[in-house]
């Protein structure tokens, strides 16, 4: 999947004009790329469009228009675009109540290493997580983790050929599995693979 360049982005003025329609398109696109795993965790599979939206929103919020600053944003978000042999995902841990969230994030340290994808007939694939920075402060984990799931060529062929996919978490404090992932989602993320 091609990385984003400055030419792929709207200017701030143009983005203000197209933002409502673009946002609606991205929200619909993201719905087909999310896998809730149990009641408090969602895996969001990223791609070029989801990252374009993130960059556009950052440029808008920060009022960034200088070429060097735009390149910095692209450098931060381009690594989250899959490269054809892997999936890149954002893991979101959500507890609405502040005190419960604090307690659960302390109990869920290491959850990013316990999250996996599994193509039917193959062993689970655990992620390379948080390559950008450490997200565990020694007492609790973060509510957001960035992950890369590296697939073998046989796994890629199997998923693209229609083999089912499971997603799960095997943490001592949080065990949930989605098996199979809905076909609509599996097909959407299979398109990320070469």
Query: pLDDT of 77-134, one tens digit each?
Result: 999 999 999 999 999 999 999 999 999 999 999 999 999 999 999 999 999 998 766 6
State whether residue 132 is helix, strand or coil.
coil
87 closest CA partner among 47, 49, 31 = 47
**Whether residue 52 sits in one domain with residue 42:** no
87 closest CA partner among 39, 21, 155 = 155
Residues 23 and 53 sit within 8 Å (Cβ to Cβ): yes
Can you give the pTM of this predicted structure?
0.92
Per-residue pLDDT reduced to its tens digit, 8-27: 999 999 999 999 999 999 99
**Whether residue 113 sits in one domain with residue 168:** yes
DSSP annotation of 125: B
Per-residue pLDDT reduced to its tens digit, 38-48: 999 999 999 99
State whether residue 81 is helix, strand or coil.
coil
Number of domains composing the chain = 2
pLDDT band at 165 (very low <50, low <70, confident <90, very high): very high
Q: Which pLDDT value is given to residue 134?
A: 62
Domain that holds residue 17: 1-31+48-81
Q: Which pLDDT value is given to residue 138?
A: 74
**Whether residue 54 sits in one domain with residue 72:** yes
**Whether residue 111 sits in one domain with residue 53:** no
pLDDT at 135 over 70: no
State whether residue 89 is helix, strand or coil.
strand
**Whether residue 186 sits in one domain with residue 176:** yes
**Whether residue 74 sits in one domain with residue 88:** no
**Whether residue 54 sits in one domain with residue 123:** no
Residues 84 and 192 sit within 8 Å (Cβ to Cβ): yes
Which residue has 């565990």 as its token pair? 136
Lowest mean pLDDT among 54-63, 136-145, 172-181: 136-145
pLDDT at 158 over 70: yes
**Whether residue 106 sits in one domain with residue 54:** no
**Whether residue 17 sits in one domain with residue 99:** no
**Whether residue 91 sits in one domain with residue 73:** no
d(CA 45, CA 73): 20
């Amino acid at each position: 999947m091609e990385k984003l360049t400055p030419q792929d982005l709207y200017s701030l003025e143009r983005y203000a004009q197209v933002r409502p329609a673009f946002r609606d398109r991205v929200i619909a696109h993201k719905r087909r790329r999310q896998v809730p795993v149990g009641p408090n965790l969602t895996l969001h599979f990223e791609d070029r469009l989801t990252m374009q939206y993130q960059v556009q929103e950052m440029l808008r919020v920060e009022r960034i228009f200088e070429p060097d600053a735009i390149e910095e944003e692209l450098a931060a978000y381009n690594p989250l675009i899959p490269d054809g042999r892997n999936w890149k995902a954002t893991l979101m841990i959500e507890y609405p109540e502040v005190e419960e969230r604090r307690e659960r994030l302390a109990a869920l340290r290491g959850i990013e290493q316990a999250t996996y994808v599994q193509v039917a007939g193959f062993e689970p694939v655990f992620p390379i997580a948080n390559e950008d920075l450490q997200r565990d402060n020694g007492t609790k984990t973060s509510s957001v983790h960035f992950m890369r799931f590296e697939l073998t060529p046989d796994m890629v062929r199997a998923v693209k050929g229609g083999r089912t996919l499971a997603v799960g978490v095997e943490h001592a404090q949080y065990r949930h599995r989605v098996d199979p992932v809905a076909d609509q989602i599996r097909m959407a993320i299979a398109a990320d693979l070469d």
